[in-house]
Amino acid sequence: MTIDRLRGRINDADSHEMIPACMWAEQFGPTAAAFAPMFEHVPEDAPNTLSIKMEADDTPITEESVWTIKSSRAPGTVDPARRLEVMDFIGIDRQLVFPSGPGLVGAFIAASPPDVIEAQFGVDTSAMDLGATWRALLTAHNDWAMRFGSIDSRRLRAVAVVVGDTLDELMREAERVLAGGAGGIMLASSVPPAGLSPADPALDPFWRLVASSGAPLVLHIGGEFGFMRSTAWSKADVFTPLDAASIETPLDPYTLSTVHMSAQNFLTTMVLGGVFERHPDLHLGIIELGAAWAGSTGQIMDIWHHQFRKRSSNLSMKPSEYLSRNVRFTPFHHEPVDVYIERYGMPELYMFSTDFPHLEGGRTPITAFASSLDRLGDDVIEQFFVTNAELLLGARS
């Protein structure tokens, strides 16, 4: 199979800013800058590191630099014009751009209990106003996202992170960032929005706001912290994470095997609670959380919805049909997405992503996915690399 015909048309549902910590003061402001020193101990050759001492985004754009540098040193990590050049080089048309820095730190603090925050960042939370801190970090990230996307709002879709204790707070920040051109709204999947079940009709104004904007709602890895009550599960020597600077997720086999649970829980409340029935134009992306669970989750929701059909009569379709219509997933490059499609059908669920410039994205994701999908034919390849992501990327011009 030739992938030349995809060149220039590929949609990438996951990439990241990777502004080095030394530039946080100028790019994100003083609250973010206060967290920058936590990366100083990380070696510059560690994967996903933000500890690079650099003054400009000036690494030449080459095959090697684009795919093998997995840190702030990669080209296009800071400068949106250079990100567009990187996209042209790879053959990508449109791209979601997620945080690596203050946006993730803010989501982490918003979602985690104080002891976990102290363990992660080495700070004394008793002296901090945690609510003010995560709000300042997320505001800084969201301001950056609006600036970054403004250079080409069709191709660069920088995603804002929205967390709020009340519906009013959610609405105000979502209205602000959508008006400012944010390419999507990311929620922390471990946090009930405004303290409510995502299924609760009281959240309908928020879902309606996002749906009517045409921007996607997204759950991305990094929003799961604090989902489980205990943090003991990962505390074993064999689960010691790789020495990576990104706080997106600990890179260890246990965490990555279970990281989808928070999103699975969130998605289940939305589907079975009738959110997509009430908001058929709401589009949800589940990004960098794997896809091994997508098809089987649709099927088990179908089974239980059928068992409770007399009590859940507010759904006009099977739960899996809402997945087909409203939800998209990005598998990791090493997942057998061809097997998932064969087993569960629903080829429309899966989207291509580079995770540029993070380590987990791999070095040859286009060829890895294409060779996995080749046996399923050109239509499936077109869906995977181009069409399916248009649910999340297609509405904004």
Partner 1 sequence: MNLDSIRGRINDLDSHEMTPRPNWLEVFGGTAEADAMLTMMLDRFPSMDPQSVQDPLASSVRGDHTPVTPENVLIRGVRAPGSYLPERRLQVLDHLGIGTQLVFPNGVGLVAMMMSCSSPETIRWIMSGGDADLSFDPAVVAPSLARINNDWAIRFAAHDPRLRPVGVVCTNDLATATAEARRLIEGGIKVVVIPSAVPPGDLSPGDPALDGFWRLFADAGIAVVLHVGGEFDFARRNEWIRHPNFAFNIPQDVQEVSLDAYSLSTVHLGPQNFLSAMILGGLFERVPELRFGVIELGGHWIGPTAENLDVWAHQFRRKIDLPMPPSEYVKRNIRVTAFHFEPVDVYIERYGMQDVFCFSSDYPHLEGGQTPIESFAAKLERLGPDVVEKFFVTNAEWLLNGTAAPVVV
Binding site for partner 1 (CB under 8 A): 113, 190-192, 195-200, 226-230, 232-236, 238-239, 252-254, 256-258, 261-262, 264-266, 268-269, 272-274, 290, 292-293, 296-297, 299-301, 303-305, 307-308, 311-312, 314, 332, 334-336, 343
Instruction: Give the nearer residue to partner 1 in terms of CB position, either 11 or 190.
Output: 190
Least Å distance, CB 103 to partner 1, is 22
Least Å distance, CB 191 to partner 1, is 8
Instruction: Give the nearer residue to partner 1 in terms of CB position, either 141 or 279.
Output: 279
Least Å distance, CB 101 to partner 1, is 25
96 touches 287 (CB < 8 A): yes
Instruction: Give the nearer residue to partner 1 in terms of CB position, either 153 or 269.
Output: 269
59 touches 65 (CB < 8 A): yes
- 147 burial type by CB count under 10 A (0-12 exposed, 13-18 middle, 19+ buried): middle
Closest by CA position to 191, among listed 102, 111, 103: 111
Instruction: Give the nearer residue to partner 1 in terms of CB position, either 342 or 379.
Output: 342
Least Å distance, CB 363 to partner 1, is 14
Report how far residue 193's alpha carbon sits from residue 190's, in angstroms, rounded to the nearest whole number. Answer: 9
Alpha carbon of residue 85 to chain centroid: 22
Give me the helix-helix angle, 294-307 and 319-326, nearest 10°.
Answer: 140
Query: Which helix (H) or strand (E) is 12 found in, with range?
Result: strand 10-16
Instruction: Give the nearer residue to partner 1 in terms of CB position, either 62 or 307.
Output: 307
- Residues 6 or more apart whose CB falls under 8 angstroms from that of 273 comprise 197, 198, 199, 200
Least Å distance, CB 241 to partner 1, is 10
* 228-255: burial string, b at 16+ Cβ within 10 Å, e else: eeeeeebeeeeeeeeebbbbbbbbeeeb
Q: Which residues pair with 218 in a beta bridge?
A: 186, 285
Instruction: Give the nearer residue to partner 1 in terms of CB position, either 59 or 312.
Output: 312
* Cis preceding-peptide flag for 30 (omega within 30 of 0): no
Instruction: Give the nearer residue to partner 1 in terms of CB position, either 143 or 204.
Output: 204
Instruction: Give the nearer residue to partner 1 in terms of CB position, either 115 or 378.
Output: 115
- Residues 6 or more apart whose CB falls under 8 angstroms from that of 125 comprise 114, 117, 118
Work out the angle at residue 282's Cα, subtended by the Cα atoms of residues 276 and 285, and round it to the nearest 5 degrees. Answer: 100
Least Å distance, CB 370 to partner 1, is 19
Least Å distance, CB 115 to partner 1, is 12
Least Å distance, CB 359 to partner 1, is 11
Instruction: Give the nearer residue to partner 1 in terms of CB position, either 239 or 379.
Output: 239
Least Å distance, CB 317 to partner 1, is 14
